[in-house]
């Protein structure tokens, strides 16, 4: 029997679990336990919980480089994720994949670090769902930067003409690494989605209840065989593009970073044989705006999904504390097991 109303305390618990797990991942990465790049889904918790917690057996997911929250919420053990990030043989993928290449065949979940790849993957999962498991669906998670990738737009079209049961989920923070996406994207996303024949839904990506409601509509459509949707949610990434993001480092320690960058920028601004003074000033302005945007913004602002959910739930503080204590204990135990084993 499908729910008709979101169970906020349940969603809250899942979001908190994801938050605390990823904060632990952040600390372990910082301490050198986890190598390479690390993209977190901090800030995307409500989008993930509001959709993933409504999935059923047989539903599939195609994830991007921020796959940790959806996998956790889909029931993958945090131990196996953390061990994967640490490269352990008993990690989710035997330590062979790492955080951008996470695969869970039992949950029909695949990931890719290739921007836009979630589109075709979700279309293929949708095709298999349509033919083999009617009533099941597939999801594609991607950022707004990915909507200019050809393969994603081709997948929109494929899903539309074949009426595939696919939800294309766009997590929009208007920043792709250091490029403001609205400066490189033509038209409006709503028009683009509708132009491909996708149903378009939008909601506040920090409001898990609002996400749950539009996802409920899109999921019903897809399960009925009425075809694909484009779900558009705004969100923020408080840790930037990835851990160690230079823009975030500048925001936190302006002195150190700027001291390194400034001399060469100034030299470039005055070197002979280049653009006009006006153009050079234009470039400097672009760079300083980008830095300022990160530095000045109160990053969470109204965009913290957990804070928003707490307000809505109106649980008494003791209940909140009990949830927090239980989740914290779970995550601490996960970290202790993984670090002791290594």
Partner 1 sequence: MPTISFDQAIEAALAQAMAEDARIVILGEDVHTLRRNLFVRFGRDRVRATPISEAAFVGAAVSAAMAGLRPVVEVYMVDFLGVAMDALLNHAAKLTTFSGGRWKAPLVVRAPCGGGYGDGGQHAQSLWGWFSHIPGLNVVVPSNPADAGALMLTALADEGPTLFMEHKLLSEDWLGFLGRGGRDTVSFDVPTDGAHGQGPDFWQPLPLGEAASLRDGDDLVLISVGVGVHRCLQAAEKLAPDGIAAQVIDLRSVAPLDEKAICEAARRTGRVVVVDEDYMRYGLSGEIAAVLMAADIKARFGRVCTAETIPFDRRREEATLPNVSRILARARGIMG
Ligand X SMILES: Cc1ncc(C[n+]2csc(CCOP(=O)(O)OP(=O)(O)O)c2C)c(N)n1
77-106 residues in contact with partner 1 (CB under 8 A) are: 84, 87-89, 93, 95-101
242-301 residues in contact with ligand X (CB under 6 A) are: none
The answer to the question of residue 255 lying near partner 1 (CB under 8 A) is no
Q: How far is the CB of 147 from partner 1 (least distance, A)?
A: 9
**Selection from 86, 96, 120, 92 nearest residue 106 by Cα:** 92
In the bound state with ligand X, the residue whose beta carbon lies nearer, of 109 and 173, is: 173
Helices (H), the chain: 8-30, 45-52, 68-73, 78-85, 118-132, 150-161, 189-195, 208-224, 246-252, 254-270, 277-296, 305-313, 317-341
How many other C-beta atoms are found inside a 10 Å radius of the C-beta of residue 290?
A: 16
100 binds, among ligand X, partner 1, none (CB under 5 to 8 A by kind): partner 1
Cβ contacts of 180-189, under 8 Å, gap ≥ 24: 180/290, 180/293, 181/144, 181/145, 184/148, 185/144, 185/147, 185/148, 189/144, 189/147, 189/230, 189/232
The answer to the question of residue 267 lying near partner 1 (CB under 8 A) is yes
**Selection from 230, 49, 60, 222 nearest residue 139 by Cα:** 60
Query: SS3 of 158, please?
Result: helix
Question: 237, exposed or middle or buried, with CB in 10 Å at 0-12, 13-18, 19+?
Answer: buried
Whole-number Cα distances in Å, 124 to 117, 129, 192, 222, 254: 11, 8, 21, 15, 46
The answer to whether residues 12 and 324 touch, using CB atoms and an 8 Å cutoff, is: no
Residue nearest to ligand X (CB): 143
28-87 residues in contact with ligand X (CB under 6 A) are: 65-66
328: tokens are 């914290």
- Determine the straight-line distance between the first and last CA of the chain, rounded to whole angstroms: 44
32-61 residues in contact with partner 1 (CB under 8 A) are: 32, 35-38
149: tokens are 């990738």
52: tokens are 């993933």
Query: SS3 of 220, please?
Result: helix
79 binds, among ligand X, partner 1, none (CB under 5 to 8 A by kind): none
Segment lying near partner 1 (by CB under 8 A), choices 72-80, 209-217, 260-268, 312-320: 260-268
The answer to the question of residue 268 lying near partner 1 (CB under 8 A) is yes
The answer to the question of residue 313 lying near partner 1 (CB under 8 A) is no
Q: How far is the CB of 285 from partner 1 (least distance, A)?
A: 10
Segment lying near partner 1 (by CB under 8 A), choices 2-10, 43-51, 201-209, 241-249: 241-249
The answer to the question of residue 301 lying near partner 1 (CB under 8 A) is no
Segment lying near partner 1 (by CB under 8 A), choices 4-12, 46-54, 122-130, 180-188: 180-188
Segment lying near partner 1 (by CB under 8 A), choices 39-47, 48-56, 148-156, 200-208: 148-156
The answer to the question of residue 262 lying near partner 1 (CB under 8 A) is no
Q: How far is the CB of 42 from partner 1 (least distance, A)?
A: 15
97 binds, among partner 1, ligand X, none (CB under 5 to 8 A by kind): partner 1
The answer to whether residues 140 and 121 touch, using CB atoms and an 8 Å cutoff, is: yes
190-219 residues in contact with ligand X (CB under 6 A) are: none
Of the residues 111, 173, 229, 294, which one makes contact with ligand X according to CB under 6 A: 173
105: tokens are 């065949």
The answer to the question of residue 157 lying near partner 1 (CB under 8 A) is no
**Selection from 273, 254, 234 nearest residue 44 by Cα:** 234
Question: Given the rule CB under 6 A, which residues bind ligand X?
Answer: 65-66, 113-115, 142-146, 173, 175-177, 241
Question: Given the rule CB under 8 A, which residues bind partner 1?
Answer: 29-32, 35-38, 84, 87-89, 93, 95-101, 112-116, 145-146, 148-151, 176-179, 181, 183-185, 242-246, 249, 261, 264-265, 267-269, 271-276, 279-280, 282-284, 286-287, 290
């Amino acid at each position: 029997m499908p729910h008709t109303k979101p169970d906020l305390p349940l969603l809250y618990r899942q979001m908190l679990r994801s938050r605390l797990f990823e904060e632990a991942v952040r600390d372990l990465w910082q301490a050198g336990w986890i190598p390479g790049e690390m993209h977190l889904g901090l800030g995307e918790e409500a989008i993930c919980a509001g959709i993933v917690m409504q999935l059923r057996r047989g539903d599939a997911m195609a994830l991007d480089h921020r796959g940790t929250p959806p996998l956790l919420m889909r029931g993958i053990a945090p131990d196996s994720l953390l061990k994967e990030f640490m490269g352990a043989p008993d990690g989710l993928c035997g330590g062979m994949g790492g955080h951008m290449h996470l695969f869970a065949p039992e949950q029909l979940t695949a990931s890719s670090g290739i921007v836009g790849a979630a589109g075709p993957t979700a279309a293929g999962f949708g095709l298999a769902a349509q033919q083999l498991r009617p009533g099941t669906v597939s999801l594609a998670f991607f950022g707004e930067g990915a909507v200019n990738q050809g393969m994603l737009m081709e997948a929109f079209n494929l899903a539309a003409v074949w009426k595939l049961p696919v939800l294309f989920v766009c997590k929009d923070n208007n920043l792709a690494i250091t490029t403001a996406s609205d400066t490189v994207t033509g038209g409006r996303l709503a028009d683009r989605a509708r132009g491909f024949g996708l149903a378009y839904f939008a909601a506040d990506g920090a409001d898990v209840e609002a996400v749950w409601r539009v996802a409920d509509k899109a999921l019903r459509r897809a399960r009925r065989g009425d075809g694909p949707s484009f779900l558009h949610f705004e969100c923020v990434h408080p840790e930037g593009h990835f851990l160690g993001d230079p823009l975030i480092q500048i925001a936190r320690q302006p002195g150190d970073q700027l001291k390194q960058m400034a001399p060469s920028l100034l030299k470039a601004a005055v070197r002979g044989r280049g653009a006009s003074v006006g153009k050079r000033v234009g470039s400097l302005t672009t760079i300083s705006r980008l830095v300022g945007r990160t530095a000045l913004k109160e990053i969470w602002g109204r965009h913290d999904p957990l804070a928003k959910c707490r307000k809505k739930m109106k649980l008494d503080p003791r209940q909140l504390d009990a949830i927090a204590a239980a989740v914290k204990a779970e995550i601490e135990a996960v970290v202790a097991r993984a670090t002791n084993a290594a």
